[in-house]
Structure 1
Amino acid sequence: MMDAVADVAAVRPPDLVGALARPVAVIDASMRCGDLDLQFRADPALACVAVVYLDGGIGLITRDRFGHLMSGPFGYGRALWEKTPAGRTADPAPMIVPEDAGVVDVCELVGRRDRIRRYDEVLVRRPDGRLGRVSAARLYEALADLMAHQAIRDPLTGLANRAHFLDRLDAACRGESHPGVAVVFVDLDRMKQVNDGLGHNVGDRLIVSTAHRLSAAARDGDLVARLGGDEFAVLSRLVTGGRRADLSAVALGERFRLAVATPDPGLPPGAHSLASVGVAVGAARADAQTLLSEADMAMYRAKQAGGDAVRIALDVGDQLDAHPGAGDAIVAAIERGELRLFYQPIIGVDDGRVRSVEALVRWQHPRHGLLAPDRFLPDVQRARLLPELDRWVLERMAADLAAWDAELGGQAPRYVNVNLTVETLRAADAAARILAPLRAASLSPARLRVELPESADLADFRDAIGQLHELRRQGTGIVLDDMGAGSATLRHLSVLPVTGLKIDRSFVAGMLDNRNDHAVIRLLADLGRSLAIDVTAEGVEGDEQLDRLRRLQVPFAQGYHLGLPAPADHLTALLRTGRPRGVARVPTPLR
């Protein structure tokens, strides 16, 4: 089975602090500091001890603070304190949480502590009264794991979500040996009847049951996803060997049709459903969207035939043109003037005024029409031409910003956010190259905000950290994009010279209904204020979300509700007013 479709572990990271807590040493408040000092010296791994007072109160002594006390300013600390009861040196009001407290909630409380105690251990109380401990660092690691998990998982079933499925399907289609990539599209036949007759709670139980049965039927390396509602998909590889491809495709579809058809005794009577299944098998030139669409249409043919059936589509992609960005086509596109730069406003949540705009590249292809970046960037990357594309974006952005300044004066955008690739940032003279177009247009480096790619981890930035610091010295902002989605974690904030972060749209989408999403946004807003960095919420789609962000004191927002990506000249009227209301909506609002 191909590595391109190997699924990540579906096990949800722990979301309660009890699962993170480790045993903590407990001492009596009357223990002398000299004896406790020996205890710390004997066990280098002892990070803290809990102190029990006569009245039942609990205190906390941390290794670092106690060691500083015992050393003293002139080396006489031990002589002064060794006979003193340890309880007098403890923090008498440490943070103590029940073991069923949520990781997100506790991280929020930790973020609100005063700086001197922010990274103290958190004590965890078990139901039987025993105490455990968990470090602030471990809590934030768990929070990062939860955020990463949520970005790719369906919250109801734990399966991969639609976005993650499409990412993996796209990677599989672009692999070196991708012919035979298969998509199985599964749609339940009786979902409406179950919801209408038994209620949506039972409908949710049917969805979860279907997810379990499809996962059990999947082979090693298959990726099972919930696309939405009662639609599921499986990413697999069809290995035909000496058999006919059509028989192999039907057999693959039958595996999952039978999995759904098998009754689940855990469901109430009448909650059972059969499924219509479509299977699409890619040829050498298949792309992800076409393959999924063909599987969907095959499923629809199965449903038209009465349901509980399998229909197939073979050799999907043979009729397609070559990838539009293959080879040096991007260079030719630049020379022919086919690239376009669109801009999406970023507003202040409190006053609704445009504070910045994000530059988004498009390709007006002569045959394929207006292309979003995901249609050509992978080919540009393979051709090692991403720095050339970044250079064009920076030059076009600088020209547009200078034109706005000349026409609008103080109403021109104060900043422009530009997404740059790791390949550009790794260059030894990256800072000079990035700022050259601004200097040529007589623009300050402070007008630029570089958005770091969300797909890159810290190892990818190892050779770029020096150049990022140089950009910061010149006044350029550094923004961590899609916080919680790709590889971006809280660790990035302590290693990279970040001046801003963007909260991934998945948290904004769920904030009104999902308690954890709401708490994550509140935590990141608090963290931004604490670290003095700008926080922007992405994917705002309605007034209710905007109102909630305002109450959570998230300072900036971006999304289709506030303005679609548009060419520079389309945004001039918006920039004159400074407000997104009434912005003209241009055709083809590609992300």
Structure 2
Amino acid sequence: MSGTSEGPAPTADLVPPAVTESRADPGDRTVRTACPPPAAQPPAQAAGPARTPAPPPAQAPTPPPVPAPVPAGTRATDPRPPDRHAAPDPHTTAPDPDPAELYRAVFAVAPLAMAAVGRDGVVIAANDAFHALFTRPPAAHGSAPGPGPVGRVAAELVDLVADDRTWHTYQEVLRGRQARLRCGRRLARPDGRTMWAQITVTPLADRSGPGAVLLSVSDVSAHREAQARLRHSRMHDPVTRLPNRTLFFERLAGALEAGAYDGSGTGRIGLCYLDLDGFKAVNDTLGHGIGDRLLAAVAERLTRCAEEAGPTRDTAPLVARLGGDEFALLVEESRGTEQLADLAGTVLRTLQEPFDIAGQRLSVSASIGVVERRADGTTATGLMQAADTTLYWAKADGKARWTLFDPERNAHRMTRQALVSTLRPAVERGEFRLEYQPLVRLDGGELRGVEALVRWEHPQFGTLAPNRFIGLAEEDGSIVQLGRWVLSTACRQARRWQLDHPDTEPVFVSVNVAVRQVWDSDLVADVADILAETGLEPGLLQLELTESAVMGSAGRPLQALQALSDMGVRIAIDDFGTGYSNLAYLSRLPVSVLKLDGSFVRGFRHEGGAHPNPADEVIVETLVQLAHRLGLTVTAECVETAGQAARLRGIGCDTAQGWLYSRPVPPDRIAALLTARTASDG
């Protein structure tokens, strides 16, 4: 009998009685005799266990037949059954049966297949169940059965020679050095059928030292089949019958390991990770029942794509449902990105055809993230993260498409994540600093104020401008902490300039405020505390909010703006002209300054005497006039040429900022400008 192996699991067990066997005649059935444990004797052959059959041991003479035991209270000559209601007759009580006979009878009829094996590894006795498993049936009707198991090498009968670990443990049990061997085998029975068996080998008691062992074989096929059905159910999705997330990751881990260490293949792995576009709408409008049927239909098409992509079942991509409307096609031994791109394109074309579900014609598309790389050095987590990122790109690029993983694009994403994770600690570590850009009066050129611009001195990425991290800070809420630091630092610096230059008209400082600062913090209280702490007058502080943040403000934001204005703080609308541009609404807000977006000012450039966009000048002139009628002052941003400044001055714009006057500079450069102005005034 041959089989496949499972690992042994030696454990301690009870020791059954020793069993021996003899034959009166080769043609007779085996006569089995059992002895109590103390009487067990070692077999005649004392050689070590063998992996090949050995000659059978010397047979003992056939013992005389033993009469069947007579139950107590029954006469040997009385054929009637005993009356259980009658009192026992002390004169007719039969002696107790011989324990050895009971052992023999139990061993012979036990449903568990058992055999006694000598120290040489040869079967010396076996019960009926063991004979039924290992005796070849007659080749034809009326012919004799094949040889039985007695006299054969036990290890070959139950395939204990299949692996070295099991064989070594078996030898240790035979020598009395190990308490038990237990392992599983898939055995081929003499009649051609196969069975899953649990093999157990335990020593039999022998006072003189290591003796025979008891070999038992239990048919566990039904249990193994139930386990297989349970595993299949646990590893497959009930809706689509595809492998589920658990089985997918099991196969992925195996593929990565095989690709890394098996030099016979390509050593590469590929993955198409797809998400259905529009599936949620189907679920929400038609119900989950229709949605499940749609998923099953999608699974059938994906399976067909995989079968067409692989010439054999073993080389076809694995199709799995990872959850919801997410599917994956795993390509083991990938031949490169071209193969993955062809597969993704086939999937998209296959899913384009509408689905007929319950009398309804449904259409869905898919976004697919494609990743292909070497298996060596790749982890399942890393591969799935790359696939998930690429799937996100496919959706962001317009859906119904596939996108290949781009390391450079991913590096930008990783940089973004690194910035987000270090934003909050960066404030505490003092990694931020402020630079100031002058705000200049257009009609006289004097310095009127400065705008505070934050810079991040990142230890890994160097100096970062606000557009690299302010949006991230607004997303994760760290803008509140960062904004409070900027406000405090700018006010303290403005007060320092005022104290250092008492003879010069003080300059105001303009600080950008995100709308989340108004919602998530008590901005009014923060401003009041900072002004009191630094000693800066409220009129020397200007807070800038974007047009989209201010327009439509109601409730708490509007109340906060009104309270700040009542306090004397100037409120400015930044980047005006790019959003609502509703001057009528502005009249109801506590706003005192408009900052025109730089896109209008850039239209003022002169190239060969021609104006590139005359409409820009008309728009700016109209905005300035309307703002002045509302009592607002106007600041133009991004002024880079003297011609632009001259036109803005002619229109009546109040102040300007831009590279024509100065780039953002450190605080000491502003101090130098103030010193120079003091000298010129003197």
State the TM-score, normalizing by the size of structure 2: 0.39
Higher RCO by CA contacts (8 Å cutoff, separation 6 or greater): 1
Mark the structure with the bigger radius of gyration: 2
